[in-house]
Amino acid sequence: MRKLIVALIISLVSVSSMFASGTNEKTVSEDSGKTRVCVVYTGNLGDKSYNDSCNIGSQRALEEFDIELKSLEGSTNDEWKSNLLSACEDGYDLVICAASNLQPYLEEFAPMYPDVKFAIIDTTVNEPNVQSISFAQNQGSFLAGAAAAMFTEKSDISGINDEAVIGWVGGMDIPVLQDFYTGYEQGAKYVNPNVTILKAFAGSWNDPLKGKELALAQYEQGADIVMNVASGTGPGILEAAKESGKYAIGVDLNQDNDQPGSVLTSMVKRVDTACYLTIKSVVEGTYKGGTTSYLTLADGGVSLTDFSVMRNALGDKFPEDIVEKCSVINDKIISGEIVVENYEGFGPSAN
Amino acid sequence: MDLSSILNASLIYATFRSATPIIYAALCASLTQQADILNIGTEGIMLTGAFAAVAISYTTGSWVLAIIVAMLAGLLMAAIMAVANIKYGADICAIGMGINMFAIAITKFLMTSVFGMRGTFSNPDIVAIPRVVIPGLESIPFLNEVFNGWALTEWFVIVFIVLMWFLLFKTKWGLHLRSVGQYPMAAQTAGINVTSMKYQAILISGLIGGLAGAHLSLGYSRLFTENMTNNRGFMGVAAMFFGNAHPVWTSVGCLVFGLTDSIGARLQAYGIAAQLVLMLPYIVTIVVLSISMVSKYYTKKRRQSSLLLIR
């Protein structure tokens, strides 16, 4: 009897631990002849940001095409690597690496599995069986930075102080995020050369409490508005804005409604489009390995939301001039009148 | 760099705010340590408590009920540990780590299957632990900035530290517990039920761990994320070692962690490399533990030499 109980406890613990590796959504059996797609995430779904955006794209493809879809989540480096390897081994037609954290592993595995079609979002991997899709996040962030720098001057709005200080909190210190910041800083300085920008990294994609603490620290240091580029760490940053009566800027998906009245706008990055188009290309047989695409402000790859949630929240006090100015800047970037700088290794020429 | 924007009044509350969850975790680990049981499972107990608190607060809208259920959830996890360790002699570190992994898995599983949410569980219907606004304090700038708007559980932790100290060092029960930890055979000879004391220690520790989790998800924030404890339980265990399982010194250790974390958050904004700043809490952990180990070594040596003199 005793042994039975011990065995029961051990098996209970080990069986349920398997859920932790985060495998799900195997829709149909393996020999159905459908296109089999696997998306490997660096982080978890449910971040209401980058990963969810990618998932929206793959779910859309699942509805429209006859495919089988699997999503692999993970929160640490070794989980990402083993998830990618198991995706390679499992004979999928298409393996999508959802984020740039997977780049070194894809560079290692892509030559080992020449028959698998790969795609990577947010960075470039130069292999014949990899399609790379990057975004001009610097252009979108330029707009966000400009909006933030204008907003911090509106001291008649509650919670805004006299100092021209804005903040920025990122998830992990990776090159893509530096590209975000490069644009954000340039955009803010374009509007007001004297603006101070506080910058911090949480060191994680899924620690909202750390994000909250960093955002609160920046608010206490005089920032009125903080942009988050932090996936699952982001909800904490938006919560900090709500709680301290300050403001935030959303990222990747439209986060304006996550804490309504506290999120000025969101810099939307169409990861969903990238994911959807890649799956579509494989289904329709137009997939081409070794190619790179770069989605910009002009293509609608990145954009700001329409400020409507904030307009409703602030009513008469809503500064319409920010929206007008942003749309002018938007046109100037598209026409090439404003050239937004890139972080080293990014931009159309980097491909 | 402007030093006044780093060392100011808001740093005091920030330190306390980020230390509080670790203090609860450290007290959870301290109680069992007094009975010579290393509670590695603190992290998992806390995570389970955090999930239970959010789940109950969301479904019932009562934060009081949420805390109670969170503590019971912690108790349940601790009970698994207690039975496996005391009754069946399982290694406490192995079962503790098992609990930690189990907690990550079960909370993720329940969040997806019962509530249909993934990654983050945040909803306007989740009722947070209320914040204490002291009337009349608004007019005093410094005190207002430091003391107003603390969560109820942040005030309670101060009471709780004193309570733990009283329980361990001023009551018969505490004496029994410590004697079980220091010399179980002597305790048994004196007629203390060692097994029962160990059970009590782990189970009560589970209640505290559940409270730690409830504070994390409802007091410190108002959401639940997968693995939201993010090693705070382990930092609590480290602080427990630093403070030699004494509630007051352990809490001081936690405040050191909180201070480095808060200073780090402020330093980052001034262009100090993020990697360096994010390392700070861990460097401090190593330094703090080294100091406490060295001091323990000398205390032990001094005791030995005095024994030699008596002979």
**CA–CA separation, B183 vs B173, rounded Å?**
15
Residue B126 with chain A: CB contacts under 8 Å = none
Nearest-CA residue of chain A relative to B228? A207
Q: Which two tokens stand for residue A145?
A: 């930075």
Q: 3-state DSSP call for residue A86?
A: helix
Is beta strand A117-121 parallel, antiparallel or unpaired with respect to A94-97? Answer: parallel
The pLDDT confidence band at residue B288, using thresholds 50, 70 and 90, is confident
Is beta strand A23-24 parallel, antiparallel or unpaired with respect to A67-72? Answer: antiparallel
**CA–CA separation, A166 vs B267, rounded Å?**
15
Nearest-CA residue of chain A relative to B221? A209
**Looking at the predicted structure, is the pLDDT value of residue B153 above 60?**
yes
Q: Which two tokens stand for residue B299?
A: 């205390």
Is beta strand A117-121 parallel, antiparallel or unpaired with respect to A130-135? Answer: parallel
* CB-based contact B102 A22, cutoff 8 Å: no
* CB-based contact A45 B119, cutoff 8 Å: yes
**Looking at the predicted structure, is the pLDDT value of residue A128 above 80?**
yes
**CA–CA separation, A142 vs A138, rounded Å?**
6
Q: How many beta-carbon pairs below 8 A join chains A and B?
A: 128
Residue B278 to chain A, least CA–CA distance (Å): 7
Q: Which two tokens stand for residue A40?
A: 């490997």
Mean pLDDT on A98-107:
94
Q: What is the pLDDT of residues B33-60, one digit of tens each?
A: 999 999 999 999 999 999 999 999 999 9
Q: Which two tokens stand for residue A19?
A: 């859920």
* CB-based contact A206 B108, cutoff 8 Å: no
Across A187-202, b (16+ Cβ under 10 Å) vs e yields bbebbbeebbbbbbbb
Q: What's the half-sphere exposure (Cβ side, CA atoms, 13 Å) at A60?
A: 16
Please give the residue that has the higher pLDDT: either B117 or A168.
Answer: A168
Residue B23 to chain A, least CA–CA distance (Å): 16
Residue A46 with chain B: CB contacts under 8 Å = 117-120, 226
Stated as kind and residue range, the H or E segment containing A227 is strand A225-229
Q: Which two tokens stand for residue B239?
A: 């602080």
A161: nearest Cα among A214, A211, A219, A212: A219
**CA–CA separation, A174 vs A176, rounded Å?**
6
Instruction: Report the share of chain A in percent with pLDDT over 70.
Output: 90
pLDDT (0 to 100) of residue B265: 87
Is residue B69 within 8 Å of residue B53, measured between CB atoms? yes
Question: Best interface-test mutation with A: which of B226, B235, B260, B261 has the largest number of A CBs within 10 A?
Answer: B226
Residue B150 to chain A, least CA–CA distance (Å): 12
Q: Which among B220, B230, B274 has CB closest to A173?
A: B274
Q: Which residue has the tokens 């780093």?
A: B6
Q: Which two tokens stand for residue A250?
A: 């959303």
Residue B265 with chain A: CB contacts under 8 Å = 200, 213-214, 216-217
Residue B118 to chain A, least CA–CA distance (Å): 4
* CB-based contact A213 B261, cutoff 8 Å: yes
Is residue A122 within 8 Å of residue A134, measured between CB atoms? yes
Is beta strand B224-225 parallel, antiparallel or unpaired with respect to B150-151? Answer: unpaired
Q: Which among B18, B117, B227 has CB closest to A206?
A: B227
Which runs of consecutive H residues, i.e. helices, occur in chain B? 9-34, 42-60, 63-82, 92-113, 141-147, 152-169, 172-182, 184-189, 194-214, 232-242, 247-268, 274-310
Stated as kind and residue range, the H or E segment containing A175 is helix A175-191
Q: Which among B109, B221, B262 has CB closest to A16?
A: B109
Q: 3-state DSSP call for residue B83?
A: helix
Q: Which among A19, A200, A232 has CB closest to B120?
A: A232
A136: nearest Cα among A351, A350, A334, A348: A348
* CB-based contact A6 B84, cutoff 8 Å: yes
Q: What is the pLDDT of residues B65-92, one digit of tens each?
A: 999 999 999 999 999 999 999 999 999 9
Count of other CB atoms within 10 angstroms of residue B122: 25
Q: What is the pLDDT of residues A23-40, one digit of tens each?
A: 444 444 445 578 999 999
**CA–CA separation, B24 vs B131, rounded Å?**
18
Residue A198 to chain B, least CA–CA distance (Å): 4
Residue B24 with chain A: CB contacts under 8 Å = none
* CB-based contact B101 A17, cutoff 8 Å: yes
Q: What is the pLDDT of residues B209-268, one digit of tens each?
A: 999 999 999 999 999 998 899 889 999 999 999 888 999 999 999 999 899 989 988 888
Question: Best interface-test mutation with A: which of B10, B88, B102 has the largest number of A CBs within 10 A?
Answer: B102
**CA–CA separation, A220 vs B10, rounded Å?**
7
Q: What is the pLDDT of residues A40-66, one digit of tens each?
A: 999 888 888 999 999 999 999 999 999
Residue A221 to chain B, least CA–CA distance (Å): 6
Residue A185 with chain B: CB contacts under 8 Å = none
Nearest-CA residue of chain A relative to B279? A203
Residue B20 to chain A, least CA–CA distance (Å): 13
**CA–CA separation, A249 vs A103, rounded Å?**
27
Residue B130 to chain A, least CA–CA distance (Å): 12
pTM assigned to the model:
0.87
pLDDT (0 to 100) of residue B287: 87
pLDDT (0 to 100) of residue B217: 95
Q: Which among B17, B119, B278 has CB closest to A46?
A: B119
* CB-based contact A200 B274, cutoff 8 Å: yes
Nearest-CA residue of chain A relative to B17? A213
Q: Is the dihedral of CA A7, A10, A13, A18 positive or negative?
A: negative
**CA–CA separation, A233 vs A155, rounded Å?**
28
Q: What is the pLDDT of residues A317-343, one digit of tens each?
A: 999 999 999 999 999 999 999 999 999
* CB-based contact A214 B228, cutoff 8 Å: no
- Ordered by where they begin, the domains of chain A are 22-135+272-295 (3.40.50.2300), 137-270+298-350 (3.40.50.2300)
